[in-house]
Amino acid sequence: MPIFYPMKFSPVYRAKTWGGRCLTRFFNRPTPAVSPVGESAEIIDMPGMSSSVAEGPMAGMTLTELCKEYPQEIYGRQASQYQYTGFPVVFKYINAEEALSIQVHPDDRYAMKYENANGKFEAWYIVDAKPNARISRSFKPGVTAEKAKKAIREGRAEEVIHSYPVEKGQSIIVPPGTIHGIGRGLIVAEVAQNSDITYRAYDYNRTPAKGEKRPLQIEKVLDVLKFQDQNDFVKEVKLNSLCSKICLNDCFSLYKYSFREPIHDYTYNQFRLLCNVEGHGTIISPDSLFEDIEFHPGDTILIPACLYDFSLVPATHCVMLEVFGGKFDKNEDRKQAMIPHPQGQF
């Protein structure tokens, strides 16, 4: 039986017309072959695109292979839910040196019917923002559905979309059906349902290097648009002095740690992702079930369900995002999810 441990993953870089080099400089990473870098998919499990374990005995295994071969060890009590559907979330960094398109994602019902795929619920955390950086989300107050649809059809989406400045450390939730766009000068951490379905409403009339404008999907945009949601920023809920709740939904749960002192926690017999945004330190096993794992800015680490518990020991002040599959309330659900100490691994 292999020995499991907190696993770092090698990112999958994706070239985008709006990307650049800020992401690799920000996290002090080697320059990848693709250019300009728009996305760094840290954790992804899609056909033809799967991140791979970077270090340790399982180095080189893709996330797809890992979860297929060891579903119980990775997913724990969620194995029956995820082992046949693939890893449930995608975590990526977006490097927006130019604005992304104005776009919308479908919900599960629409995506399954027309795309044979999942819909997409996503949440953003602003990792870095240049002065005057902005995002777009929902429609301006007073914009009716009729006015919005007319503007989108006529290529005037910018006139009706609500745009506002953002700063480092803010969080935004983007449910399916919410029109949105990331502006220039931002590095954004995105947690999302495992889906790549995007419908573009507006792309600033730009022509990429290849000379062809990217296609718009206006009719599908209008099919899936929702108009009632005007909530922009997330008000984080403090659970304690170190941890805040950002977002809970049926697709994923997102928390944020901001800490200078050690944290001890349990896996609750389910996987989690630790996405380190700022600072560095070490993950240790109180029972020496795995060797110490150092973490640095930009590291994304999968904690398998079978590890039972672990400790985060910071060397500096750290900011870390924590992602669970599905809805998991750390205040209400953790007692029900606790299992007896296994005295070792499966």
Q: In the numeric block, which tokens belong to residue 50? A: 């799967």
Task: Identify the pLDDT of residue 304.
Answer: 97
For residues 250 and 299, membership in a common domain is answered with yes
Task: Identify the pLDDT of residue 233.
Answer: 67
For residues 77 and 220, membership in a common domain is answered with yes
pLDDT band at 337 (very low <50, low <70, confident <90, very high): low
Domain span at residue 270 reads 237-337
The reply to whether 12 falls in a domain is: yes
For residues 106 and 174, membership in a common domain is answered with yes
Q: In the numeric block, which tokens belong to residue 265? A: 């926690």
Task: Identify the pLDDT of residue 224.
Answer: 97
The reply to whether 232 falls in a domain is: no
The reply to whether 230 falls in a domain is: no
For residues 175 and 250, membership in a common domain is answered with no
For residues 57 and 204, membership in a common domain is answered with yes
For residues 214 and 131, membership in a common domain is answered with yes
CA dist 206 and 127 (Å) reads 26
CA dist 152 and 165 (Å) reads 22
Range 165-170 average pLDDT: 95
Going from the C-alpha of 180 to that of each of 129, 142, 227, the distances in angstroms are: 17, 17, 12
What secondary structure does DSSP assign to 197-223, as a single string?
--EEEE-TT---TTS-PPPP-HHHHHH
pLDDT band at 32 (very low <50, low <70, confident <90, very high): confident
Task: Identify the pLDDT of residue 346.
Answer: 41
Please determine, for residue 341, whether its predicted confidence score (pLDDT) is greater than 90.
Answer: no
For residues 299 and 259, membership in a common domain is answered with yes
pLDDT band at 4 (very low <50, low <70, confident <90, very high): very high
pLDDT band at 345 (very low <50, low <70, confident <90, very high): very low
- pLDDT, one tens digit per residue, over 225-255 is 998 765 666 778 889 999 999 999 999 999 9
Per the CB < 8 A criterion, the answer to whether 225 and 148 are in contact is: yes
Helix count and strand count (H, E) for the chain: 9, 25
Three-state DSSP at 65 gives helix
For residues 248 and 316, membership in a common domain is answered with yes
The answer to whether the predicted template modeling score (pTM) of the entire model surpasses 0.85 is yes
Percent over 90 (pLDDT), the chain: 79
- The count of structural domains within the chain is 2
Per the CB < 8 A criterion, the answer to whether 126 and 169 are in contact is: yes
The reply to whether 342 falls in a domain is: no
CATH code of 277's domain: 2.60.120.10
Q: For 282, how many CA atoms within 13 A lie in the half-sphere containing its CB? A: 7
Please determine, for residue 10, whether its predicted confidence score (pLDDT) is greater than 90.
Answer: yes
For residues 217 and 262, membership in a common domain is answered with no
Tell me the torsion sign for CA atoms 201, 207, 213, 214: negative
Which of the listed residues 224, 257, 277 is the one where a domain comes to its end? 224
Least confident interval from 92-106, 215-229, 260-274, 316-330 = 215-229
Which of the listed residues 174, 197, 224 is the one where a domain comes to its end? 224
Range 13-42 average pLDDT: 90
Instruction: Note the helical H segments in the chain.
Output: 22-26, 63-69, 71-75, 79-82, 108-115, 145-153, 157-160, 218-224, 334-337
Task: Identify the pLDDT of residue 234.
Answer: 79
Please determine, for residue 208, whether its predicted confidence score (pLDDT) is greater than 80.
Answer: no
Task: Identify the pLDDT of residue 344.
Answer: 45
- pLDDT, one tens digit per residue, over 267-300 is 999 999 999 999 999 999 998 989 999 999 999 9
CA dist 255 and 298 (Å) reads 17
Task: Identify the pLDDT of residue 332.
Answer: 81
Task: Identify the pLDDT of residue 235.
Answer: 79
Task: Identify the pLDDT of residue 338.
Answer: 55
Range 198-204 average pLDDT: 96
Tell me the torsion sign for CA atoms 15, 17, 22, 25: positive
Per the prediction, the chain carries an average pLDDT of 92
Going from the C-alpha of 24 to that of each of 28, 131, 187, 190, the distances in angstroms are: 6, 20, 11, 16
